[in-house]
Amino acid sequence: MTRHIIRRLIQAIPTIFGVTLLSFVLIMSAPGGPAQIYAREDPENMTPEKRERLLERLGLNDPWPIQYLIWLTGNDWMHTLGWKDLDLNDDGEIDEDFLRRGILRFDFGESLQYKRDVGEIIGGRIPATLELGFASLLVSLFLGVPIGILAAIWRGGWFDNITRVGAVIGSAIPVFWFGLMLFLFFGIVLNQPWARGNQCDKNKYSRSGCPPVHMRLEYLILPTIVLSYGGIAGYSRYMRTSLLDTINSDYVRTARAKGLPNRDVWFKHAARNALIPLATFLGPAVVGVLSGAAITESIFSWPGLGQIFVASVSARDYPIVMASVLIGAVLTVIAFIISDILYAVFDPRIRF
């Protein structure tokens, strides 16, 4: 297992670099740029000379392969080797605002919109995303898997029919519509303050801006319902289908022929092996809690990664967008490695 994980991690390195290159080229091809963002903030004083100097200080006059290399590895070592002159401020000293250490050293630059370090902004939003993501994931699993097992046991009965209709509705309802309906009903019609969003300080979520999570659980109710409903529908359907395929296996018939109780046959023998196909989706779901839920966070004013990503795309805050894309790529690779590990956990017969 350890050898397989190491091999998968080594194989993931070219994939991650390919994602960084593709995302960088797409951002470079997008209209606008950091220079236009700065010019929009101070249009009267942005003369052509100042704009040209700003482009030089940002490194945007360099060829795009050099810009990509600076984004990866930074420009401080280039200055040390004499490849790039960073003495561009009025005092003839290195301007720390334009000194980069590169994403390989976890320096994602400074946000154009918030004028703060990107790593600090994302780090302050991760606790909120973890709270909402893990809450919805746990609800989806603890309700979806048992519902799927019971629907397979009582196949064709009233419980199976109700859950099948509920699964179709859960898969068909758009998340944004479901979230808006809950927000309008509880927040506007019933005038419940906890339904209007988290009241924590968005910039100090992980520090003094919020009380402990047990004192604000009511804010988790509606976002968790919105995010977990689709998961419950999906997990229950996958579990039902997988379990119905498993009960026709030879080892299940052998267990019944030995006179084992139906409870042992269903839950100890059939259910565990039916979880193997579910591992394909469980790995990305576990890591996906870090990616945030942009629409749900925006509706309920939840200060997570999804909300700030949407705001950064709208404001063309390229450093945050690039950091979010890179984090998503790394998490996706980790997700599939987790799926491989879960295969072996659910079925010890599987060996790599």
Domains of the chain by range and CATH? 2-105 (no CATH), 118-346 (1.10.3720.10)
pLDDT of residue 270: 78
Percent of the chain residues topping a pLDDT of 90: 2
Which band of pLDDT confidence, cut at 50, 70 and 90, is reported for residue 40? low
pLDDT, averaged across the chain: 76
List CB contacts of 46: < 8 A, sequence separation 6 or more.
38, 39
List CB contacts of 40: < 8 A, sequence separation 6 or more.
none
DSSP 8-state assignment for residue 186: I
- If you average pLDDT over residues 24-49, what whole number do you get? 67
pLDDT of residue 46: 63
pLDDT in tens, 205-216: 544 456 666 666
Q: Is the per-residue pLDDT at 197 higher than 60?
A: yes
Distance CA 247, CA 250 (A): 8
Q: Is the per-residue pLDDT at 341 higher than 50?
A: yes
Q: Is the per-residue pLDDT at 3 higher than 80?
A: no
Least-confidence region, from 16-25, 113-122, 166-175, 332-341: 332-341
Least-confidence region, from 15-24, 100-109, 182-191: 100-109
Which band of pLDDT confidence, cut at 50, 70 and 90, is reported for residue 88? low
pLDDT of residue 83: 63
State how far the alpha carbon of 52 is from the alpha carbons of 55, 112, 187, 195, 228, in Å. 5, 18, 50, 49, 50
Residue of 234 and 77 predicted with greater confidence: 234
pLDDT of residue 207: 43
pLDDT of residue 289: 66
pLDDT of residue 311: 80
pLDDT of residue 193: 74
Q: Is 94 helix (H, G, I), strand (E, B) or coil?
A: coil
pLDDT of residue 137: 86
- If you average pLDDT over residues 62-74, what whole number do you get? 80
pLDDT of residue 350: 62
pLDDT of residue 215: 67
Query: Which pTM was predicted?
Result: 0.75
Q: Is 192 helix (H, G, I), strand (E, B) or coil?
A: coil
Residue 158 burial (C-beta neighbours within 10 Å; 0-12, 13-18, 19+): exposed
Least-confidence region, from 138-147, 217-226, 279-288, 304-313: 279-288
List CB contacts of 180: < 8 A, sequence separation 6 or more.
299
The two three-digit tokens of residue 345, written as one number? 């956990």
Q: Is the per-residue pLDDT at 89 higher than 60?
A: no
Q: 160 and 244 in contact (C-beta within 8 Å)?
A: no
